[in-house]
Structures are given as C-alpha cells and as structure tokens.
Structure 1
Amino acid sequence: MKTYDAEFEHVTTAATVAIYESSHPIFEGIIREVRELSRKKPEATMSKSKVTLINRVLADLLVILKDEPAGNYLEILDDAALPQVSDAVLVMVQFETALKAFKIRYYRLFDDVRKHYWVTEELLSKFRSKK
C-alpha cells in the first residue's frame, strides 16, 4: 500500500507541528529544572517570574493540546495564588504526558519510504499529488 493511499485516523497540520517542535525542547528544559527544584524544596512557593515564564510555554502548548483527548485536563499555573514547586511539577507532568500522546498520535513510520513523518494535511496532500 502506498503512503498516499493510506487512510489516517488522526491528521494534524504543519502549523501545529511547528508549535510542537519549537515549544517542546523549551518545555523539556523547564520541567527538568522545576523537577530539580522540587527535589530540593518541594513545598517552596514559586516566584511570580518563574510562574510567568512557565506559563508562557504552557500557553503555547495549550494551543495545540487543548483539542486533544488529554487537553481537558490541562491548565496553566495560577499566577494569582502562586503554586508550590511540587504543584507545578504535577501540572507540568500532565503536559508532558499530553505531549507524548500527541507525538504517538501524529508521528508515524511511512513504510514505503521507510521514514518517520508527522501526519499532516500538507504532507498527505503532497503524497496524493504524486499519484
């Protein structure tokens, strides 16, 4: 079966993938740092500047994850009632899990070309036009 003849249950867009690819590495770095802080002082209250920084990344991720199955459970940190570090980790782990599910859902091996691609509308249009 040719890739462009395949039916995909889940298809995203190149714009959504661009947000994922630009935000994911930043998110990974931040969650690593917040986990480290949590090991040292899990009950410490986060500063407003840390919450603002984290929320900027989480807000970008919400754009692509809010309509996904796990999107119902995602929310940014409360910057009015500053969270404890351990609470921030919990919220961020939910995002981490949703990001993993996003990649599993849309990043596929295309057997006939033996390469992984994001299953996007644009890619499928390109493959179909080669028919």
Structure 2
Amino acid sequence: MAFEDDYHFQNITTDARVAEYEASHDVFASLLDEVKELSKKKPDASMSAGKVKIVNRVLENLLTVLEGQPDAKYLEALDDDDLPQVSDAVLVMVQFKSALASYRERHYQHLSGYGHHWVTAELIEQLKADYDEDLEGDEDEAL
C-alpha cells in the first residue's frame, strides 16, 4: 500500500500563497465594503488616485495568490492611469471576491483524522512522512 493509494489531492497550493491569502483577505473584504458604500452614494464618481493605489496594493497581492487559478484570467488591478468610476471598481473587486471564494473551496479541505486544512505541498510532505512512519510502525508490529 502506498501513500498515493490512500490520498489523492486534485488542487494543491503552497504555504506562501496561503499566508498571502490570509494576510490580504480581511483587508480586501474591508476595502470592498468601503468601496461598496462609496458606490451607493456616488456610483458614477471617479475614484481618487490615492484610493486606487490603496486598493491596487491589495489586489496585486491577491493576483499573486490566484496566479494559475482557472478564474485568474478574468482578474486585473484597477487602471490607475484612467481612474475608474466607483461602480466599476466594485465590479472588479466582486470578481476578486468570487475568485477568492473559489480558491478557498478548492484548497481548504477536510482531511480524515486531521480536520480542515489548506492542502499545500508542504502539508502533503508532512502527511507522507507521517504515513511512511505509521507504515513502518505497522510493519515492525507485524514482526
């Protein structure tokens, strides 16, 4: 019996991407809430260059996290040369919100005996080491 026979992971990320996701997610959610509030008041108003810069810093981090994901091809930071209307910024940010939810759904899984974890290359290495150690212990007991 081999580790690969017992475990099959379709979507694998890295600890670095998870750390970036966790560092950026709450900040992004707060920014989205603020931009939505602005949109309710003045949807056709242009965003200030300062606001675009703040939002883009977070979006750039999220683009790194979401690189290579199926929905990443639809994502881009706000245009800081031609300042977007607030309603356009909301549209872009909602696309990011959806992509982040998909990322979490793909990579945050329940692992039998371990609970919920991000499925990362580093976690798989640890699971494989634990599996091999348990297998060796079972073989020693059989002798």
User: In which range does the TM-score fall when normalised by the shorter chain?
Assistant: over 0.9
Amino acid at match of 1:101: S
Q: Which has the higher contact order (CA 8 A, sep 6+)?
A: 1
Shift, 1:72, TM fit: 0.3
Contact 1:4 1:124 survives alignment (8 Å): no
Other structure's SS at 2:117 match: strand
| Structure 1 equivalent of residue 116 of structure 2 | 116
- State the Cα deviation string for residues 78-110 of structure 1 (Å, max 9, x = none): 001100000000000010000000000000011
**Structure-2 separation of matches of 1:47 and 1:109:** 43
Q: Which has the larger radius of gyration?
A: 2
**Structure-2 separation of matches of 1:3 and 1:93:** 37
Q: Which runs of 5+ in 1 are unaligned?
A: none
| Structure 2 equivalent of residue 81 of structure 1 | 82
Larger % of helix: which?
A: 2
How many residue pairs get aligned? The number is 129
CA RMSD of the aligned region, Å? 1.5
Amino acid at match of 1:38: S
Q: Which runs of 5+ in 2 are unaligned?
A: 132-143
| Structure 2 equivalent of residue 24 of structure 1 | 25
**Structure-2 separation of matches of 1:45 and 1:3:** 53
Amino acid at match of 1:70: D
TM-score by length of 1: 0.94
